[in-house]
Structure 1
Amino acid sequence: MTRALILDTETTGLDPATGDRVLEVAAIEVVNLVPSGREFHRVIDPERDVPEEATRVHGFTREMLRGKPVFAQILPELLDFLGDDPVVAHNAPFDFNFLDHEFDRCGVPRIARSRMVDTLALAKTRFPGLPNSLDALCRRYGIDNTMRTSHNALLDVQLLSQVYLELMGGKQPVLGLAERHVAPLATGADGQLRTRTPRPIVPTPEELERHAGFLGKLKDPVWSGFIEG
């Protein structure tokens, strides 16, 4: 089983070194590239103002965030959810840089860069010279992003999980049919995958006799040998 976390943050600005802070963090769990249904989502009081230009991007204002937990309060839950698994983000160095500063404030070790998976870097390798924003990749892969009217961390990770699946090959290795040598699968009325029971078609003696009679009316039929056995 391969577990990873798709993560996104929203912030008060672009540079944590000048005092910008995280105000929203979301992550969803994927197992073998498939979302498991487990998610983490917190809106955070950044303990500072939210510039108007940032509000235009994600919609959060200072007043909306007053009274929300501060980053130090949500950090234990976030660390527990992330565990020791890879963390996937679009333009991941941006999110990791902000998390580094937040972790430093809390006196907690940073997430190792060895765990970072950057889907922007993956997309640039696959589509050099083309637009590779999250919206551009959704359009390229036919992923519906019409509900994305502003940046929202939880919606963004849900879209990114679909993009990540496509970037990694577009198939779900959890099925592993070829490797496991199992019978073909069929979808039942309830939508669940079930093993299909083979149902070979065996002609009756009467059907074979009629078929032989039909072939007898033809001149040198090439498939006459198929009526034997």
Structure 2
Amino acid sequence: MRQIVLDTETTGLSAESGDRIIEIGCVELLGRKLSGNDKHFYLNPGRDSHEDALKVHGISNDFLKDKPKFSAIVKELLDYLQGAELIIHNAPFDVGFLNKELELIGLPPLKQCVSKVTDSLMMAKELYPGKRNSLNALCERLEVDNSGRTMHGALLDAQLLADVYINLTRGQNSLMMELSTGPETGQSLPVVDLSQFELPLLLANQEENAEHEKLLAIIDKASKGKTVWRGVSAAA
């Protein structure tokens, strides 16, 4: 599966109110590995950024004056995204802006170009309910180095999000194991589908069950009889 981690910077918060995209950063993952085939665009939005937005991304209006319009790069962008899964943090925001840009030049919405859109913010909320799940918070939690992120930038943020996504989904893609290139031959080894193997079910013997009950009794005593499993067993 070809995946593209995407981020945008904008003139403000509302595409419907006339705010526009000023920067697009894309990072390609092939087999969950960075391919190096990235895309990065600065765009002339035809309007000034709001003051609050400038404080976030630091991209001045003067800097963008000689940059191309979205219509000038749209073919290159869509060709690059074609058929890929997009991974975006807070996807409705970025997709909403991209769809508005496409609408303004008479093109269909993004969903007709890509295979699917995955919202890494929603993934993080499911994994870490009740915790902060901003990109900075996830970088800190997952030990992704974001020391170079003094301001928001679309390409840098996409690169950080790629590392975050790989850590968020490590070991959860299915029972598939991709063997690395053999050091002796330099040849790629085949992918092994572990789901084809029927694993034996090993039951605890009488001695192991007795030791387990002893351990549960110790924990129950230490908690003064407040262990959950005792209550469940009694109810059963």
Output the TM-score relative to the length of structure 1.
0.75
Would the alpha carbon gap of residues 172 and 31 (structure 1) be closer, same or farther in structure 2, given more than 3 Å must change?
A: farther
2-structure distance, mates of 1:23, 1:39: 17
How far, CA to CA, are the matches of 1:64 and 1:149 in structure 2? Answer: 19
SS of equivalent residue, structure 2 residue 35: strand
Deviations 1:98-129 (A, max 9, x none): 00100001111111186110000000011111
Aligned position for 1:126: 127
Counterpart of 1:6 in 2: which secondary structure? strand
Give the match for residue 151 of structure 1. 152
**Residue 29 of structure 1 aligns to a residue in which SS?**
strand
Question: Could you say what secondary structure the match of 1:9 adopts?
Answer: strand
Q: CA deviation at 1:171?
A: 8.5
**1:33/1:172 contact within 8 Å kept:** no
Residues in 2 aligned to 1:175 and 1:64: alpha-carbon distance in whole angstroms: 46
Q: What displacement does 1:51 show?
A: 1.7
1:7 to 2:12 alignment: no
Check if 1:58 corresponds to 2:57. yes
Residue 52 of structure 1 and its aligned partner are, at CA, apart by 1.6
Shift of 1:64: 1.0
Aligned counterparts, 1:198-209, within 5 A: none
Q: Does 1:176 align with 2:166?
A: no
RMSD between superposed Cα atoms in Å: 2.6
Q: For the structure 1 residues 126 and 172, does the alpha-carbon distance in structure 2 shift closer, same or farther, using more than 3 Å as the test?
A: closer
Change (3 A) 1:66 1:170: farther
TM alignment of 1:36-185, pairs within 5 A: 36-112=35-111, 115-169=116-170, 176-177=178-179
Structure-2 residue corresponding to 1:214: none
Question: What secondary structure sits across from 2:73 in the alignment?
Answer: helix
Distance 1:125 1:7 in 2: 21
Distance, in Å, in 1 between the alignment partners of 2:68 and 2:93 is 22
Number of residue pairs aligned between Structure 1 and Structure 2: 186
Counterpart code for 2:178: G
- Per-residue CA shift, 1:174-215, capped at 9, x if unaligned? 9623xxxx9x9569xxxx8999xxxxxxxxxxxxxxxxxxxx
Structure 2: state its 5+ residue gaps: 190-236
Who is 2:215 aligned against? none
The alpha-carbon distance between structure 1 residues 33 and 194, as it changes in their structure 2 partners (threshold 3 A), is closer
Quickly say closer, same or farther: Cα 1:80–1:131, change in 2 above 3 A.
same
Distance 1:61 1:5 in 2: 27
Report the TM-score when normalising by structure 2: 0.73
The structure with more radius of gyration? 1
Instruction: Give the letter for the 1:129 counterpart.
Output: G
Q: Deviations over 1:40-79 (max 9, x none)?
A: 1000000011122111100111111101100100101100
Contact 1:57 1:151 in 2 (8 A): yes
Q: Which amino acid aligns with 1:11?
A: T
1:90·1:119 contact (CA, 8 Å) conserved in 2? yes
